[in-house]
């Protein structure tokens, strides 16, 4: 019997949408944010591995493998793709994890800690699109494995360094 | 397709000369022992494929790291890292025992300062040789998996470019055996400024 791979792995800057053929979305994030949108009734979910808050050059074409790179771009692609696959925009909810500030600075300038800026940008876009953020595990200073189950709607966050597992 | 493949070898030679002339003497003074180094590779990669830089078996290795971001005529990121377990032998060379045992703020500050000094050695060499004015940031310190550290650094470059040129260098102290790794990351569009 052929064993199907039921996990869709999301690469840095990538975006995946799953329906019944896959049951789980998975990625690893540090300062990047793993945002999941899902319609639990239609069984459609998407995950983006967001690197940066906003596309600076709006005219620049988004390549397929980097649809999840920028928060503004990614959420638009996620919503469009999910609706095409049967999701009801009114039922779509969000969960997210990541956005850590990995490097500490004596001056605390946050000069290259893009994590908090990613979190803030995503919340703003979710708010503007009336998408409820059900739960989040964001900030702090450690990397996270993030798994989202399409069946349960649960997001499992694991830190190898802190040796913790959390379900949100 | 590498846009600047022809320049990469030349870039490697330039960096090699800076490291030999400036970085090695600095590290030699800090550690008070002879240092060897090995410029492993200079390559152009797309940012989203940064994981190709490290073998899967090393991705979750926990590293102590200092990151210094340089801006001005050139945009450069310099990531210094070593296995976490090797941090104490390094700290012992710099600090009284009490600070090393607790690994307090002073210890972190000292390690960060090493990253700062070594980065400055390269920045000064660039200034002297090419006349490029480059300013470095306050160094950031972290203890994390190599995968996480690289993700942060690569994201930082994501605003300006879809690709980066990465030079990997390994330093080793010949008496105490301390191993220090450096990744020097550049915007590919700026490589020509260093090879002209």
Residue A3 confidence (pLDDT): 54
Q: Which residues of B touch A69 (CB under 8 A)?
A: 48, 158
Residue B2 confidence (pLDDT): 45
Q: Are the beta carbons of B67 and A103 separated by less than 8 Å?
A: yes
Map out the domains of chain B with their CATH numbers. Answer: 2-195 (3.40.1550.10)
Mean pLDDT for the stretch of residues B60-76: 89
Quick one: which of A75, A25, A84 has its CA closest to A50?
Answer: A75
- The 10s digit of each residue's pLDDT in B100-144 is 566 666 777 778 888 889 999 999 998 888 888 888 888 888 989
Work out the end-to-end distance of chain A between its first and last CA atoms, rounded to an integer number of angstroms: 34
Whether residue A2 lies within 8 A of chain B, CB to CB, comes out as no
Smallest CA–CA distance from A144 into chain B, residue = B148
Active-site annotation holder among A15, A17, A32, A101: A32
Residue A8 near residue A22 (C-beta atoms within 8 A): yes
| Burial classification of residue B184, based on how many CB atoms lie within 10 Å of its CB (0-12 exposed, 13-18 middle, 19 or more buried) | buried
Residue A90 near residue A38 (C-beta atoms within 8 A): no
**One pLDDT digit (tens) per residue for chain A, 168 residues:** 555 678 899 999 999 999 977 789 999 999 899 999 999 999 999 999 999 888 766 667 777 778 899 998 999 999 999 999 999 999 999 999 999 988 876 545 555 667 888 899 999 999 999 999 999 999 888 899 999 999 999 999 998 878 889 999
| Domain-wise residue ranges, chain A | 7-167
Alpha carbon B161 to its chain centroid, in Å, reads 19
Q: Which of B115, B155, B162 to mutate to test the interface with A (most CBs of A within 10 A)?
A: B155
Query: What span, in angstroms and rounded, lies between the C-alpha atoms of B190 and B141?
Result: 26
Residue A86 confidence (pLDDT): 94
Q: Are the beta carbons of B149 and A112 separated by less than 8 Å?
A: no
Q: Which fold has domain A7-167?
A: 60s Ribosomal Protein L30; Chain: A; (3.30.1330)
Report A:84-143 residues touching B (Cβ under 8 A): 100, 102-107, 109, 111-115, 141-143
A32 is known as an active-site residue: yes
Q: Are the beta carbons of B138 and A105 separated by less than 8 Å?
A: yes
The SS3 call for residue B71 is strand
Q: Are the beta carbons of A30 and B62 separated by less than 8 Å?
A: no
Q: Are the beta carbons of A31 and B144 separated by less than 8 Å?
A: no
Quick one: which of A87, A101, A98 has its CA closest to A122?
Answer: A98
Partner residue opposite A102 with nearest CB, options B137, B138, B144: B144
Q: Which of B139, B158, B164 to mutate to test the interface with A (most CBs of A within 10 A)?
A: B158
- The 10s digit of each residue's pLDDT in B5-56 is 677 888 888 999 999 999 999 999 888 899 999 999 899 999 888 888 888 7
Q: Which residues of A touch B161 (CB under 8 A)?
A: none
């Amino acid at each position: 019997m052929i064993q199907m791979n039921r996990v869709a792995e999301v690469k840095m800057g990538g975006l995946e949408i799953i329906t019944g053929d896959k049951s789980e979305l998975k990625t690893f994030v540090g300062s990047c944010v793993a945002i999941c949108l899902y319609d639990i009734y239609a069984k459609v979910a998407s995950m983006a591995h967001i690197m940066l808050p906003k596309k600076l050059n709006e005219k620049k074409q988004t390549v397929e493998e980097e649809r999840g790179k920028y928060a503004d771009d990614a959420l638009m692609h996620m919503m469009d793709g999910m609706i095409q696959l049967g999701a009801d925009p009114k039922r779509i909810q969000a969960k997210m994890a990541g956005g850590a500030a990995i490097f500490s600075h004596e001056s605390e300038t946050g000069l290259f800690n893009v994590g908090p800026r990613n979190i803030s940008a995503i919340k703003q876009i979710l708010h503007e699109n009336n998408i409820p953020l059900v739960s989040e595990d964001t900030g702090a200073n450690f990397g996270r494995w993030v798994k989202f189950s399409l069946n349960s709607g649960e997001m499992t966050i694991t830190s190898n360094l802190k040796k913790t597992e959390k379900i949100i | 397709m590498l846009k600047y493949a022809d320049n990469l070898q030349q870039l490697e030679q330039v960096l090699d000369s800076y490291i030999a002339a400036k970085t090695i003497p600095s590290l030699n003074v800090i550690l008070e022992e002879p240092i060897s180094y090995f410029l492993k590779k200079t390559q152009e990669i797309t940012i989203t494929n940064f994981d190709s830089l490290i073998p899967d078996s090393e991705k979750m290795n926990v590293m102590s790291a200092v990151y210094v971001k340089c801006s001005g005529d050139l945009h450069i990121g310099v990531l210094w890292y070593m296995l976490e377990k090797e941090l104490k032998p390094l700290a012992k060379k710099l600090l009284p025992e009490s600070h090393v045992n607790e690994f307090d703020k002073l210890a972190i500050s000292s390690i960060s300062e090493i990253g700062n000094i070594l980065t400055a050695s390269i920045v000064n060499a660039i200034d002297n040789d090419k006349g490029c004015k480059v300013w470095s940031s306050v160094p950031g310190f972290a203890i994390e998996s190599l995968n996480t550290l690289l993700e942060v650094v690569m994201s930082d470059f994501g605003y300006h470019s879809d690709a980066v040129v990465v030079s990997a260098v390994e330093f080793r102290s010949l008496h105490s055996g301390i191993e220090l790794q450096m990744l020097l990351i550049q915007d590919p569009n700026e490589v020509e400024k260093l090879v002209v």
